[in-house]
A and B are shown apart, each in its own frame.
Chain A
Amino acid sequence: MTFLRPVLAVLLLATTAVPEPAAAQMRASEPALVAQTVDGTRISVEYSRPRARGRDSLFGTVVRWGEVWTPGANWATTLEVSRDVVVEGRPLPKGKYSVWMVVRSEGDWTLILDPRHRRFHMQRPDSTAEQVRFPVRSVSSGFAEILTRGFPEVRNNGARLEMTWGHRRVAFDIRVIPRYERGLEAARATPLLGLCSFRWAGSPDSTDKPMDFVVSHEGGSLIGRWEPAPFPEFEKVILLNIEQDWFLPGYLRDGDIYDVEQDMVFEFAINAGRAESFEVRGSDDKVMATGTEALATRP
């Protein structure tokens, strides 16, 4: 009987083993995650990806017209936003939502975001005041075998979230709330305005002549300009207020911020209501550059 012991041991192990999580098994509609961060707001979609599997006509057959359908499979597709956003002009508080669509043969479809996010695909939600509903345009597209979500367009203030499956494509816009205020009221900006002498610290170039740095208030924003510019991107930066008299430089293109330098903080030193100098500090909090002298001589 001793030869049976290994067999029994294997059987015992097999019956007591902890089952693998569902995500570790092969699924007809495999789970997926797609995420995009825009200006500090994380937008993520979790969904299962059904395949056409030879079914050329999906909408109107597999997904019936007029049906409330979660664009995925198994558990309802979810959309999660880490901060408040605006979807197609409608405010959406930060949180996690199940995603549903009312599909129609003609005209716009309706997209539904429901805060009851953990729902099976058969648990179609009834209409509630907490839902955010808006029309979305369904357009013809090249055939997509597997349902695919993505962010084909990412802007400095938002992104476009797209779904394609079969011959259909649906997309909607998500606008984020800017992390930093562009504007600075005149009363707070005025003490900081003027011309100063800007010098990099601790680099081989620090023996170079200091540059002029001009702080001005333009269009309601605090603007910094190097003369001459040390790099093309540095010709003009918007100074974004993060704390009291601390500012991060934002790079501008066509008047829009396209990048904020997180590792370069301008700290103004105010004395008797005027800025008398500033330091620029890096992520290690060491001084990278200084601005001194005559800060208030020229607006």
Chain B
Amino acid sequence: MNSPRSSSRRRFLAVSGWSLAAALARFRSAWALEPGPHPEPRAGITAAGVLPRDRLDGSSDVQEAFELVREIPQIVDGIRCQCGCADLPGFYSLLSCYEGEGMARHCHVCQGEARLAHRLHKAGKSLQDIRRAVDARYG
């Protein structure tokens, strides 16, 4: 059984690690060449891997962003995250930012891209339109 202290230390390291990754990713994007292509949404993709609400301890803004992604996983899976995290191992799409360690909890760009995608999807825009808008805003 973990002591509260070691759990807290692990938690601190995890948060610090992801914060650093997000910061480095943002830094890297400033130096990056052109952003890579958007991924194709995987067939049958669902929001099953998106972090559940009880694992989100952030603000209501963070929780809202995760809720929006849960509604449109097939769209979010077709978008390349432009904060730079797409180059990290194991990442497939913007949806990946909301799974696993959930780096989107700490990244405004990941959250912004999801909000934008959701907003445009609700407005009837196609995935191509949404990708173009994401590139214009964050590319």
A residues with a Cβ closer than 8 A to B are 35, 37, 42, 82-83, 242-243, 246, 265, 282-286
- Decide yes or no: A37 and B133 within 8 Å by CB, A283-B109, A284-B61, A284-B108 being known contacts: no
8 A-B residue pairings within 8 Å (CB atoms): A82-B34, A242-B136, A243-B132, A246-B133, A282-B108, A283-B112, A284-B115, A286-B112
Instruction: Judge if B48 is at the interface, Cβ distance under 8 Å.
Output: no
- Decide yes or no: A243 and B111 within 8 Å by CB, A35-B31, A286-B61 being known contacts: no
Instruction: Judge if B43 is at the interface, Cβ distance under 8 Å.
Output: no
| Min C-beta distance of B67 to chain A, whole Å | 14
Residue of B whose beta carbon sits closest to that of A242: B136
Instruction: Judge if B15 is at the interface, Cβ distance under 8 Å.
Output: no
- Decide yes or no: A82 and B33 within 8 Å by CB, A282-B112, A283-B109, A284-B115 being known contacts: yes
| Min C-beta distance of A178 to chain B, whole Å | 15
> Interface size on B (CB < 8 Å)?
19
In the assembled complex, the Cα of A37 lies from the Cα of B133 at a distance in Å of 23
Q: Are A285 and B115 in contact (CB under 8 A)?
A: yes
In the assembled complex, the Cα of A242 lies from the Cα of B115 at a distance in Å of 18
In the assembled complex, the Cα of A82 lies from the Cα of B33 at a distance in Å of 6
Residues of chain B within 8 A (CB-CB) of A286 are 61, 112, 115
Residues of chain B within 8 A (CB-CB) of A42 are 31-33
Q: Are A37 and B31 in contact (CB under 8 A)?
A: yes
Interface centre among B31, B33, B138 (most CB of A within 10 A): B33
